[in-house]
Amino acid sequence: MKLCYACQKNKSESDFYKDEYSDDGYTSSCRDCQKAKSKAYYKAVRDALTDKQKEARKKAYNLWKENHPERYRELTTKNNEKRRLANKARLKASELLGEGLPKGESDEGGILQGD
């Protein structure tokens, strides 16, 4: 049995995480208290972490874009072509049916294929 420093309850050693640096080989607070502390910390700093992650992702993307200009141009051209074809299909459906296809839907029936 071991006393949890946080909740002051006696619990079995299996209720504690292992810690090679402590004298008895286990953390001073139980797993439940550790989890509660981690959740509270994450909730408190969630927005700041998310902003930092977004900035890091954006920085890495811009660096990749600078180092691979040909591949970036190729992917951009390919995606623009897909977007152009999707918009063309949506416009054609709007003309034929009087209303456009909902965004994200395709012409599965083949109505628009008879260009």
Ranges of beta strands (E only) in the chain are: 2-3, 10-11, 16-18, 26-30
Distance of alpha carbon 23 from the chain centroid: 39
Signed CA dihedral, 31, 36, 40, 45: sign only: positive
| Amino acid, res. 23 | D
pLDDT in tens, 41-80: 988 888 888 888 899 999 999 999 999 999 999 999 999 9
pTM for the whole structure: 0.45
pLDDT in tens, 85-97: 988 888 887 777 7
Cα dihedral 23, 28, 31, 32, rounded to 10, equals: 170
pLDDT in tens, 100-112: 555 566 555 555 5
Q: Report which DSSP code applies to 111.
A: G
